[in-house]
A and B are shown apart, each in its own frame.
Chain A
Amino acid sequence: GAVVSQHPSRVICKSGTSVKIECRSLDFQATTMFWYRQFPKQSLMLMATSNEGSKATYEQGVEKDKFLINHASLTLSTLTVTSAHPEDSSFYICSARGLVADTQYFGPGTRLTVL
């Protein structure tokens, strides 16, 4: 139980294009999902909290117009990196809040490379 999927697992795009990443909770409903970014050998950095049916809450320093988050259903949240630049290249990981207290279950991550 508590399986979270992400798609795509890896994406390479040209600078200036937009990339959409999907995060799905496969066997449970998640009213809250989270988006993280992780650079090599660094800690997880929370970017935003996604709540079903409402606007996402962004962490300080994260541009909401650049990282668009949509949580349209109880099992799907999407992150769109708009006008991607090489410095956006990173490992993007989503998680879904489980039914037991504050547990978070992570997706496998999406490795984004912007050329």
Chain B
Amino acid sequence: QKEVEQNSGPLSVPEGAIASLNCTYSDRGSQSFFWYRQYSGKSPELIMFIYSNGDKEDGRFTAQLNKASQYVSLLIRDSQPSDSATYLCAVPDDYKLSFGAGTTVTVRA
């Protein structure tokens, strides 16, 4: 099984700040990467995916991929209390997805 590592947190940031989440993966051949957000008591929601090295921006979210270093990160700009959740990184593993344990983010008002 492909390994995906995330800092479990919790990561606490003040409202309006940038939250930076990191994820490393074991398989150098991985081609696509996914970020999910999971609110407490809810199911995961896909927020971004990235295939190419570099940055991909979607609203306040930016995913950054560095295949040479085998890490993918997620930046949340202008963090809001509504961003408080657990963020899961995932990579394809055969027909499945391997998930990291998730990073819990708390945005302080």
A residues at B contact (CB < 8 Å): 2, 32, 34, 43-44, 46, 49, 91, 93, 97, 100-109
- Expressed in whole angstroms, the Cα–Cα distance for A108 and B42 within the complex equals 7
Contact A44 B44 (CB under 8 A): yes
Q: Is the interface on chain B under 10, 10 to 19, 20 to 34, or 35 or more residues?
A: 20 to 34
- Measuring CB to CB, which residues of chain B are less than 8 angstroms from any residue of chain A? 32, 34, 36, 41-46, 49, 51, 88, 90, 92, 95-97, 99, 101-102
User: If A43-B101, A43-B102, A101-B32 touch, does A106 touch B96 (CB 8 Å cutoff)?
Assistant: no
Q: Which residues of chain A are near B99, meaning CB under 8 Å?
A: 43-44
Q: A34-B96, A43-B99, A46-B96 are in contact. Are A102 and B32 (CB under 8 A)?
A: yes
Partner of B97, one of A43, A91, A102: A102
- Complex CA distance for A101 and B34, rounded to whole angstroms: 11
Contact between A108 and B43, CB atoms less than 8 A apart:
yes
On whether the beta carbons of A49 and B43 are closer than 8 Å, the reply is: no
Q: Interface on chain B toward A: helix, strand, loop, or mixed SS?
A: strand
Q: A111: nearest residue on chain B (CB-CB)?
A: B41
Q: Write the nearest CB–CB distance from A25 to chain B, whole angstroms.
A: 14
State in angstroms the CA–CA spacing of A27 and B37 once bound together.
22
- Kindly report which residue of chain B lies nearest to residue A109, judged by CB atoms: B43
Instruction: Give the distance in Å from the alpha carbon of A97 to the alpha carbon of B41 in the complex.
Output: 22
Closest-by-CB residue of B relative to A101 is: B32
Chain A residues near B43 (CB, 8 Å)? 91, 93, 106-109
- For B51, list chain A residues within 8 Å (CB): 101
Residue of B nearest to A45 (CB): B99
Report the separation of the CA atoms of residues A34 and B90 in the bound assembly, to the nearest whole angstrom: 15
Q: Which 10 A-B pairs have the closest CB atoms?
A: A102-B92, A109-B43, A106-B43, A93-B43, A106-B44, A101-B32, A43-B101, A108-B43, A44-B99, A104-B97
Bound: A55/B14 CA distance, A: 49
Evaluate contact between B46 and A103: CB separation under 8 angstroms.
yes
How far in angstroms is the closest Cβ of chain B from A93? 5
Nearest CB of chain B from residue A94's CB, rounded to whole Å: 9
